[in-house]
Structure 1
């Protein structure tokens, strides 16, 4: 047998193991509401090749590739436990077991590591929480995809309706088609049918009512069997408490805005300040995509090194707010063709930092340049630190933050020397640290932070909605504080 034959045989063996993982992961998800992760990446509904690629990607953050033969014993161990709703990271289980040194078996170690999700400690499965999408644009459709994806266990969040203005001719068919196919994010994973007679879109068995309205005050959601729902406003039309309060109609319990909130509306960045949301707060904002990209790494750097001041420059993909070709626009520069120009514009991300990190006593300034790409942006975060450090120390620290801290769902880490923006389409993290571009000189640090300003931000919005809905389940092994 040749070396090449050995490599191919090894690959086929890994394929076989990954294939056997799929029914175990699916059963844990459906029957026990357990989401199996690998270094914060969900393995639910993933293909054989996707599972193998996720294991392979571990080398970018942990320094070495994970092999399915290492993680499979931990997955099998989970099937022997009386688990409740939770997220369990088998990548972290394998990594921590490797360095444990107590001589425990895989089964003993796993039972100890996830003890908070078993037996008398486990959380009871809750009834699903109704969700309404107000608006069905770029963010709205991605939120719909995520909500449908997460409905697989029958618990958690349940998308009940979308509210839009009535369009001309086959409105619901066209909206369903936009949900089914996306030029950036690809095909919808599943089946979509349209019930025009009853104004419904059925996606993977989820019946979604399409409600037509020009005024949020005109909708009685209880008439559609919707109650105690979270309404996500992704239109950006209203941003203050007075405007967003129009959504608080019968059937709606809370309103979440997918844009920076104004006035006293709390701006929430999941992973940083979501625990500050008061139980009786009915209106809140998820801030902006850029705020979500810079605040988690800014907090991480401030916690470890202290920050005296900073500036963020965002190189941002163009959005629907810009003109495709030169035409009138209320903004000075956004009227120029988005597909042909780099456009200097403003960003509210820097000022929003104060709302998300009120204890950060450091001035943060910011500006933005829109560029001719349709998705994925990069934030260049330049910081003056309270103490001197080295590039190696900063990278080791941020790598560990991405692996084993409470911010590991927000901050990702990549060391690939040839990474470009399209590589991060579909990233579920709020921010990805580019190790190769990072610069540190004494007390000055410059971080290059990639982010999918559509999908990564939508994931952050869903996390906030899960939190305020009481369906955000704990992760095991518990991240280091």
Structure 2
């Protein structure tokens, strides 16, 4: 047998193993609300090839490819446990088991590592929490996709309605079409049908009522059977407490803004300050996509090296706020053609750092340039540290943060020397450290942080909503503190 034959046979064997994992992962998700992860990447609803690629990605973090032959025993061990709702990272199980020298069986080690999600310790599944989307633009539709994807057994978050202004004939058909197909993020994973008579979009079994209103005061959500719901405002029209309070109508319990909040509205970056939210807080913001991209790595760097001061320059994809061709705009430069120009503009991300990281005393400044790409941006974070370091130390530290720390869902890490912006479309992390671009000299470090300003940010929004709704399930093995 030739080397090529050996390689092909090995690939087919791994395909067969990955294929056997799919029904196990699906059953755990549907019946027990267990999300199986691999180094913080969900394996739910993934194809055979996608599962194999996710295993291969581990080499960029841990230095070597992770084989499905290593993770399958842990996945099988999970099926024998009395698991409650949780997120279980079989990549971390395999890595920690390899480092454990007690001689435990895979079954015993797994039972110990996920003990907080089993038996008397497990979370009991509730009835779920209603969610309403106010606005159905770029972020609104991606948040809708994520809510539908995560509906699981139906006992978590339930997208019940979207609120939009009427748009004329076949409005609901056109909105369903925009949910079904996206020029950047591709096809919706599932089926979508429209019931025009009842003003309903049915997506993967989720009946979503389309409510037409020009103002929050026009809607009584209880008339649609919606109760105790979390409303996600994707319009950005109201950003202070007074304006957002207009959403607190019958049937709505909390309001989450997908834009930077003003005044005393808490700006929350999941993974950094979400645990500071008071249970009785009814209005909050998820800050901006750029704030979510820079705050987690900024916190990580401050924790380890200390930060004296910093500057962030964002090279940001253009957005719907800009004009396709030169035309009137209330902002001087944003009126110029977005697909034809680099456009200098302002960013509030630097000033928003203080809200998310009040203990950070360093002064952070920022500026932004919009460039002719439709999605994925990069933040260049230039930091003066409180101590000297070197490139190897910073790389090792950030790699470890992305793998084992509480920020592992926010910070990703890539070593690919040829990575470009389109490679990060669909990333679920708030930011991705580009190892090859990192520069360190003495007490100065310059981090290059990619981020999908649409999808990665939408994932952060969902994490905040899960937290405030009480369906943010714990992750096992627990990350290092």
Q: TM-score with structure 1 length normalisation?
A: 1.00
Q: RMSD over aligned Cα, in angstroms?
A: 0.4
Deviation for aligned residue 1:60: 1.2
Give the alignment of 1:74-473 within 5 angstroms: 74-473=74-473
Deviation for aligned residue 1:61: 1.3
Alignment partners' CA distance in 1, 2:214 and 2:154: 32
Alignment partners' CA distance in 2, 1:75 and 1:286: 34
Question: Deviations for 1:96-138, whole angstroms, at most 9, x for unmatched residues?
Answer: 1111111111111111110111111111112110000000000
Question: Deviations for 1:435-463, whole angstroms, at most 9, x for unmatched residues?
Answer: 00000000000000000000000000000
Q: Secondary structure of 1:98's partner?
A: helix
- Structure 1 stretches of at least 4 aligned residues deviating more than 2 Å after TM superposition: none
Deviation for aligned residue 1:160: 0.2
Question: Deviations for 1:134-167, whole angstroms, at most 9, x for unmatched residues?
Answer: 0000000000000000012211100000000000
**Structure 1 gap segments, 5+ residues each:** none
Deviation for aligned residue 1:238: 0.4
Alignment partners' CA distance in 2, 1:111 and 1:292: 34
Q: Secondary structure of 1:334's partner?
A: helix
Alignment partners' CA distance in 2, 1:155 and 1:347: 38
Deviation for aligned residue 1:169: 1.4
Q: Secondary structure of 1:30's partner?
A: helix
Deviation for aligned residue 1:67: 0.3
Deviation for aligned residue 1:294: 0.1
Segment of structure 1 superposing worse, 333-342 or 148-157: 148-157
Aligned residues: 481
Alignment partners' CA distance in 1, 2:270 and 2:372: 29
**Structure 2 gap segments, 5+ residues each:** none
Alignment partners' CA distance in 2, 1:295 and 1:265: 18
Alignment partners' CA distance in 2, 1:363 and 1:217: 41
Q: Secondary structure of 1:358's partner?
A: coil
Deviation for aligned residue 1:474: 0.3
Deviation for aligned residue 1:52: 0.4
Question: Deviations for 1:222-243, whole angstroms, at most 9, x for unmatched residues?
Answer: 0000000000000000000000
| 1:17 and 2:17 aligned | yes
Deviation for aligned residue 1:62: 1.4
Question: Deviations for 1:52-71, whole angstroms, at most 9, x for unmatched residues?
Answer: 00001111111110000000
Alignment partners' CA distance in 2, 1:100 and 1:116: 19
Deviation for aligned residue 1:466: 0.2
Alignment partners' CA distance in 2, 1:332 and 1:62: 47
Q: TM-score with structure 2 length normalisation?
A: 1.00
